[in-house]
Amino acid sequence: MTAADRLSEILLADDVAESLWAAVDSGEFDEILPEFPVLRMEQDPIHKHKDVLSHTIAVVAKTSPDLVLRLATLFHDIGKPKTRSFEGGAVTFRHHEVVGARMARKRMAQMGYDDDLIEAVSELVRLSGRFKGYADGWSDSAVRRYARDAGPFLGRLNELVRCDCTTRNKVKAARIQDAVDDLERRIAILAEADRKAAERPGMDGQAVMEYLDLPPGPGVGRALKFLLELKRTEGDMPRDELERRLDAWWAEQPK
């Protein structure tokens, strides 16, 4: 069994938390993924922070049994030991997602995972911190950029964000889930608006003016609106059918 096969087996176990802890405690991870046990970083009484190893296992345990998502979740904080620093009396991990994405890509390649899986996982790790700051207010362009950058991984990215909340503070946890709900709602609304804006009727304004012998004006706009609604309800049509429908519609319009 390859290292990739073994890690996948661990991550897809029925009780993934137990499976991960067993691999850590037995020393198996020291062999197949030595970066992972290092997440059990030294705690100190001054610069307090979460045990990243325990946090990561808790987050993985909350995710759906999807290999891409679970690998991304396993690696999402893997860059923290390398980026850990102390600033203003607090622990920081600046750009750990970018560092973690590079680490995930390198380690997964060494383990023998295929290129497509490596690309998906490393991209999710890179994007895993992008949601931070949403509660401070994102413009529509920022929401569009988040969805565009996530691309086909949007659903998995949002699930990772939801599962990454392990706080015991119910109010804080609910606030984060509500924020993701709001983000997903805005993404859907903007996607529909963009889809409609990108739609074009089967004939453009010049073609309508030539066919109906009309000058530029409100009549052309009404005809284009009719043609667009026709496309939305019945799909694309041959030009002769469009002209037949346009003739029938125009005959009923007040002149």
How far is 139 from 126, CA to CA, in rounded Å?
Answer: 21
Please give the pLDDT value at position 47.
38
Given pLDDT bands bounded at 50, 70 and 90, which one contains residue 93?
confident
Q: Report the DSSP beta bridge partners of residue 87.
A: 90
Q: Answer yes or no: is pLDDT of 227 > 50.
A: yes
Q: Kindly state the average pLDDT of the residues 15-40.
A: 95
Task: Quick: pLDDT tens for 175-204.
Answer: 999 999 999 999 999 999 888 877 888 889
Alpha carbon distances (Å) from 70 to 144, 196, 219: 25, 35, 57
Residue 46 has pLDDT above 80, yes or no: no
Band the pLDDT of 71: cuts 50, 70, 90: very high
Higher pLDDT, 45 or 191: 191
Q: Which amino acid is located at 232 in the chain? A: R
pLDDT, residue 50, reads: 61
The whole-number pLDDT of residue 23 equals 96
27 conformational bin, left if phi > 0, alpha if psi -120 to 50, beta if neither:
left
Percent of the chain whose predicted confidence (pLDDT) is above 90: 69
Mean residue pLDDT across the chain: 90
